[in-house]
Amino acid sequence: MTNQERIARATALVMGATILSKIMGFGREAVLAAAFGASAATDAYLVAMIIPALLFGLVGTTITTVGIPFFSEYIHRPDKRSELPVLIWTSFHAVTGALLVIALLGLPAAPWLVRILAPGFTPEQAALTTQLVRVLLPMVVIMGMVGWAQGVLNAHQHFAAPAFMGIPYNIIMIGGILLAGAYGGIAGVAWATVLATASQFLIQVPALYRRRITYRPVFNWRHPALKKMLWLAGPVLIGVGANQLNVIVDRMLASSLAEGSISALNYAQRVLNLPQGLFAIPLITVLYPTLTERTALEDSTGFLAGLSRGLRVLAFVLIPLTVGMMILREDLVQFIFQRGAFDARDAGMTAVALLFYTPGLLFLMWREFLNRAFYALQDTWTPMGTGLVAVAVNIVLNLILVRYTGLAGLALATSAAAGIGCMLLFWLLRRRLGHIGGAALLRETGRILTASVMMGLLVWWLDVRGLALMGWPFLEGLAVDFLGSGGVTSFVLQGLRLGALITSGGCFYFLGCWLLQVGEMNYALELARNILHRLRPAAR
């Protein structure tokens, strides 16, 4: 099996698991929206979630990204393989110990943290948020364990267990939200979140044991790899923390806007996370250990090939999705969220945020992949520097735009900052490597953009007039006559309409790519065949 085939199969596995997880994740968000809407209670929960999410982004992501190159080096270098268990369990104890101290310190500090994170909250809402913060603090330790396990397994080229961990998480969350909405209030959602997060670690434990990674009570704080990991982790902590600061600033400013603004930003980001989680993150997850392996083996040609392939495939998938989501933003938000307590006002706010978040989609994922390329080269300082620049741009634009465009300005600032950070990484990586295939990438991206714009025009016409000319109102009336005019009928009709628009757009996009001779068509078809091959046994 060639390296490209191995990557395609691994990506297909991760995508197949992620598709199911993301479908359930949207079910979770739809249940949350139906139970609590875009309300003061959901705003409090989302602000309380900032603290564990921030610390996970800082420590969990750091151990995953920094740990994988070192774990890979000790796996693939025969002279270092015997030291791998010591490195693995030393890193585990370092992560969990540090996070436990932070979680304990967070208990008395919760009221002050809430005042900083949401200065616009009323005293009652701030008190509720403080209560939720204290409930959620155990997640800090658990999330670090989740990131550590994922890093170890990915370094062993195992992707299934980390990919599937979203399934038990969403099952527990959906059940918890339903119970909380009926009996316990928003605090019940917080308790369910802690339990669901623990399931993400537990589902990875069997995979660790199958690779003979059994627990060892060792902590060699003098281990040379640990010292180097800590040295490289500093810039990653700063860079990732800077990205998390964007979320904090967005929600701080949104707390002074209309009620529900924080929730609208969150729901828009959830919609944006769909293409990220289904397509971009699985590809990056699979390619990153491959890049670290090529670096460990000093294979610069293989490294550049993986880098170029990843950038092109991300463009091939994300550009048409960007165009489609901008055009169908209102339909998407209404279909996913608008029911129960989530009304037309909430849907309108979320659609506005989604419109201005979406242009930054490709830049966000390119930036994530380019960061991983630098991490594979054991350079964590460059991503930190570009991340700080992007955060500075984001904060300045936030403060300017929120005064004139409100919610839309916060989302637009995020997109603009992602673009600037991405371009800086391209420039610095080219300076370091000399050649990264930029001209070929630009030509390919141009062809993909042309096909996407053509597709977008077709989808817009179908949405505004085309379906009406094809008799869609008659079919809607027929369905209402037979099934009634209830919420289920409306949901099914919205889904069918969206499905027709997306299918038509997808077919036209592939036709445009074929006419324009887009090179990534063959890779996409190979990936689709692998996904179908993976899913076929499950269907049986």
Q: What is the pLDDT of residue 471?
A: 65
> Which among 60-74, 290-304, 354-368 has the top mean pLDDT?
354-368
What's the average model confidence in pLDDT over 62-82? 77
Contacts of 105 (CB under 8 A, 6+ apart): none
Are the beta carbons of 25 and 166 closer than 8 angstroms?
A: yes
CA distances from 401 to 176, 339, 449, 483 (A): 38, 31, 28, 46
Per mean pLDDT, which range of 55-59, 191-195, 239-243 is the poorest?
55-59
What confidence tier does 180 reach under pLDDT thresholds 50, 70, 90? confident
Give residue-wise pLDDT tens across range 259-291: 778 888 888 888 888 888 777 887 887 788 778
* Residue 320 scores a pLDDT above 70: yes
What's the average model confidence in pLDDT over 124-151? 88
* Residue 481 scores a pLDDT above 70: no
User: pTM of the predicted model, to two decimals?
Assistant: 0.72
* Residue 60 scores a pLDDT above 70: no
CA 266-267-272 angle, to 5 degrees, is 95
Domain boundaries, given as residue ranges, for the chain: 3-436, 437-540
DSSP notation for 92-156: HHHHHHHHHHHHHHHHHHHHHHHHHH-TT--HHHHHHHHHHHHHHTHHHHHHHHHHHHHHHHHHT
What's the average model confidence in pLDDT over 106-132? 84
Q: Chain-wide mean pLDDT for the chain?
A: 82
Per mean pLDDT, which range of 285-294, 339-348, 372-381, 465-474 is the poorest?
465-474
Give residue-wise pLDDT tens across range 343-362: 788 888 899 999 999 999 99
Least Cα distance to 283 among 530, 69, 512 occurs for 530
Q: What is the pLDDT of residue 474?
A: 64
Dist CA 474 CA 81 (whole Å): 68
Q: Tell how far CA 437 is from the center of its chain.
A: 27
pLDDT above 90: percentage of residues in the chain: 23
Q: What is the pLDDT of residue 358?
A: 94
Q: What is the pLDDT of residue 533?
A: 60
Give residue-wise pLDDT tens across range 89-101: 988 988 888 888 8
* Residue 131 scores a pLDDT above 60: yes
CA distances from 77 to 69, 73, 74, 193 (A): 12, 6, 5, 40
Least Cα distance to 284 among 180, 154, 396 occurs for 154
* Residue 228 scores a pLDDT above 70: yes
Q: Tell how far CA 23 is from the center of its chain.
A: 14
* Residue 370 scores a pLDDT above 50: yes
